[in-house]
Structure 1
Amino acid sequence: MITTQQRQLAELLEAVAASLDIPDAVHQEAVEKYEHIGHWLEEQDESDGRREPTIYPQGSFRLGTVVRPCSRESGYDIDLVYERDLRKTGISQQELKDDLQKHLRLYVADCEKSHVDVPTLKEGRRCWTLDYDDGFHMDVLPAIPDDDGRQRFRDYAESRILISDRKLHDWQHSNPIGYAEWFKSRMAVRFRERRIALAQGMLKASAEDVPEYKVKTPLQRSIQILKRHRDVHFATDYDDKPISVIITTLAAKSYNNQGDLIESLLAIVRGMGQHIEYRMEGVKRVAWVPNPTNDDENFADKWADHPEREVKCRAWLRKVEEDLTAALESGNADDLLEILGESFGKRAVANAARSAGISHPGASASARAPTAVSEISTRHCTLPPWTMDRRYHASLSATVHRSKNSARMHDLTEREVPKGVHLRFELTTNAPAPFDLHWQVVNTGLEAERVGELRGEIIPADHVVDRVRWEHTAYAGAHWVEAFLVKGGYCVARTGRKYVRVEA
């Protein structure tokens, strides 16, 4: 049975994860940027008489696990593969990388001539990076087909590639397309389920009409949450923080299509360390996190030179589990929010608390509930039965009236209202119809309890069209009303609590 604390923690973590999503406008800008570069590279190869390259995104943008940067000084990292149809016998690693540099220098020069989004070109160990003033960092990785690997292996073999590394003599193996397919297979059940629900909510003809980046499974949400916890935990130890592909790989291996976010997170965190392997390189035993679609590629290859990074990664995983356990065992909302604030950043958690309608410490008087949630007994309240998948905004406005349908006296504020007045609550939302509307009306306090009138059930609205609910004040204390919008079994929006303080 899910406890109130589990439900509250799940709601907060869902809200934290949702706040980490890349905004639609930023996602579209990223797509436009890498498509522009892709077209440029294709045109350059065509003008040089070369075979057409294959250019595609990899990393978190492809996997749906992008997180907003912690600060304005940081930015979004976009990873592109520039795969040329060449054999390794016909070109060296350095020649491949030099050819890409020539194309990208011309691209920067063309941007300067056009006076639009002029990036700075920098060399990395395996790629070239285009740094934009607006915070985007575009890593372009040169590659060629791994012909030997495509013949030797069966699973995901058709997309294996070879990449250059200026510090290593031999070509390095990779398979970003195969990796993305493997990652999707780890969450296929939940991905399909949520895409269908989104299609119903967005009035799409089929699930395939819903853009993949709009779908978020518990695995993707868990990875976003782990990335943010990592960023906060390693804020002053940047070089030793676990890289995203290690987190993503270990998390996906530990996930078993759980539908609940808390269950997913706990299973993932407890299982990740078990998927770190050890192999012999000569006489040296090294940690190994293999690419699941290319066993020759070790995502933890730098741990061999920096063994403290594995130690810190394992210590961090223990810290995540400790924080989640402490949050589940916290005695009240204030303790819960304090724990999460330390783990994920106080601002992000405060915003998530407001979104979930939960009071938090340090809030201004206007933002806090009339009586702190931790001081109100809510054991009689029904927990929302739906999986939270908030994609739309919703809010409640309320006015005070002498009687139902009479003229408005004033807006409902933090001021106490007398007994015997009527309250009109009105829903505003950007969620498209159709949806099911449910109301939760909560009474608290000794007066209501003495006469058996504690309320806390969630009930379907009689009429979704007018989006209005009337209530009558009868008992002293702090009460609230909240609305939930449901599509396809998922709560796609909730208003947060609209508090009512009734005078004695």
Structure 2
Amino acid sequence: MLITSDSHTQLEDTLAKMAEAAELDQTRWNRLKSAYEAISKWLSEDSDFFEDAEIEIYPQGSVSIGTTTKPIGKSEFDLDVIIHIQLLSSNYEPQTIFNEVVRRLNENETYQKMSESKSRCVRLNYKGDFHLDVVPGCMVVVYDKNLIDIPDQKQKIWLRSCPRGYQAWFLDIANRVQLTFLEEAFSASKTEIEEYAKKKPLQRAVQLIKMRRNIYFNEQLENAPTSIVLTTLAAHFYEGQSSISETFEGILTQIRNHIETLYPNKPFKLPNPVNPEENLADMWEDKPELYRHFIAFIQQLSIDWRDLKASHDIVDESKLMKGLFGEEPYIKAMEAKANAVNHRRGNGLGILPSGIIVGKESEESLPIKPNTFYGD
């Protein structure tokens, strides 16, 4: 972690660590991967419907683009995986495919106890870990491995989707910045770039927006804008900034201007970038009150962010950070900062002219005495 007296670098470092604290950790990611691979194996071993069907399973949504965030007040993450069944959707009724997936999962005693059928997925509840929404899908055409039809078993229709196409679209935009502000700061301090600093500013900004969304709508989550809407808007309005704070502020400003200039009183459509016929914000047309809640959320977030940027007192800043993005992520970020300081004290610390604290191996740094906490 970077320890620095520069306020902008401090803000960047704290924002990155808070987002990291709220995301799916590597241990849980490994459990998720094992879980969906086991599901794929179980379906593939079916001696009935799926016996001759090739099945591919892969994550979609926030897992696939690196923007996971833990819901407020829960230890479980809400995660999605696609069961890509290599059968043409045109040969089957949507409810047939859905029902066969349900049947096969219920033949497993473990899955049967943890499964819950939804409109477009089967939710498996790994208590204390994650809710895994298993979304079945079939090929649309044999020559396109990304395009799928998802069965909506309640409406009894196929819904066109392209989760891997969306993943590629988002990551292409996120990767437009080659060297992030934090990576540059690490390089300037001549220390190895830590993993948390390698994630792109767009990914971190989306995480922070969703973290704020979860807190703002905590008591009324049914009124909250969906993650796909927030993520798509963020990517649309991203202008390649290299820092998290500039990315966050730029996206927020662009969304607010878009609303106030063009759509102050009526909802706008948000085409799926990989399936333009799909309106990702169609819920606003069905329930206009949700659009009003979205506008209020963006307006309040703009005010709160302005207050944070204007605050320089460490006590006020900590209160604003906790209020915006959550007390737990903030505490974890500060704990990580403290641990980094103590670790480097043990190895010897130095300070660069810029104010960044680095290891003693840096030739340009001045030494900092270790703290024994006993006045020695």
TM alignment of 1:367-386, pairs within 5 A: none
How far off its partner does 1:48 sit? Answer: 4.8
Bigger proportion of residues as helix = 2
2:169 to 160, 182, 189: 182
Choose from 55, 65, 68 the match for 1:66. 68
Q: Which amino acid aligns with 1:164?
A: P
Match in the other structure for 2:116: 122
Is 2:346 the counterpart of 1:426? yes
Shift of 1:469: 4.4
State the Cα deviation string for residues 291-311 of structure 1 (Å, max 9, x = none). Answer: 100112222222222211111
Q: Does the residue aligned with 1:13 lie in a helix, a strand or coil?
A: helix
Query: Hey, what's the Cα distance between the residues in 2 that align with 1:460 and 1:76?
Result: 35
The whole-number CA distance in structure 1 between the counterparts of 2:148 and 2:213 is: 30
Q: Which amino acid aligns with 2:347?
A: L
Describe the shift of the 1:42–1:249 C-alpha distance in structure 2 as closer, same or farther (beyond 3 A).
same
Superposition deviation, residue 105 in structure 1: 0.7
Counterpart of 1:249 (choices 232, 235, 239) is 232
Deviates more, 1:253-262 or 1:163-172: 163-172
Match of 2:274 in 1: 293
1:166–1:139: structure 2 CA closer, same or farther, 3 Å change rule? same
Per-residue displacement from partner, 1:394-444 (whole Å, max 9, x unpaired)? 33379xxxxxxxxxxxxxxxxxxxxxxxxxx5338xxxxxxxxx6228xxx
Native 8 Å contact 1:126 1:164 kept in 2? yes
Identity score, percent = 25
Tell me: CA distance 1:176–1:461, structure 2 relative to 1, closer, same or farther (3 Å).
Answer: closer
Could you tell me which of 292, 312, 316 is aligned with 1:311? 292
2:202 matches 1:219: yes
User: Given that residues 22 and 66 in structure 1 are in contact (C-alpha distance below 8 angstroms), is that contact kept between their aligned partners in structure 2?
Assistant: yes
Picking from 125, 139, 159, the partner of 1:145 is: 139
Structure 1 position 187, deviation (Å): 1.5
Which residues of structure 2 form unaligned runs of 5+?
A: 260-265
Structure-2 separation of matches of 1:270 and 1:259: 16
Distance change (3 Å), C-alpha of 1:39 and 1:201: farther
8 Å CA contact 1:144–1:163 kept in 2: the answer is: yes
1:395 to 312, 333, 341: 341
User: Can you list the C-alpha shifts for 1:98-147, whole angstroms capped at 9, x where unaligned?
Assistant: 1111111113x2x38xxxxx751111111111112233211111212223
Does the Cα contact within 8 Å between 1:82 and 1:142 map onto a contact in 2? Answer: yes
SS of 1:272's equivalent in the other structure is: helix
**For residue 228 of structure 1, what is the aligned residue in structure 2?**
211
Secondary structure in structure 1 of the residue aligned to 2:29? helix
- Relative to structure 1, the CA distance from residue 499 to residue 13 in structure 2 (aligned partners, 3 Å threshold; closer, same or farther) is farther
**Bigger strand share:** 1
Distance in 1 separating the partners of 2:68 and 2:11: 22
Provide closer, same or farther for how the CA distance between residues 8 and 459 of structure 1 changes in structure 2, counting only shifts above 3 A.
Answer: closer
Instruction: Assess, with a 3 A threshold, how the Cα gap between structure 1 residues 346 and 221 changes in structure 2: closer, same or farther.
Output: same
Match of 1:366 in 2: none
CA–CA distance in structure 2, aligned partners of residues 129 and 106 of structure 1: 15
How far did residue 191 of structure 1 move? 6.2
Shift of residue 159 of structure 1? 1.5
Structure 1 residue 11 displacement after superposition: 2.9
1:49 shift after superposition: 3.7
- In structure 1, what is the Cα distance between the partners aligned to 2:359 and 2:166? 45
**CA root-mean-square deviation:** 3.8
Rounded to whole Å, the distance in 2 between the matches of 1:499 and 1:104 is 58
What's the offset of the Cα at 1:33? 0.6
Which residue of 332, 338, 351 corresponds with 1:440? 351
Match for residue 332 of structure 1 among 295, 313, 321: 313
Higher relative contact order at CA 8 Å, sep ≥6: structure 1 or structure 2? 2
* Aligned ranges 1:402-417 → 2 under 5 Å: none
Aligned residues: 359
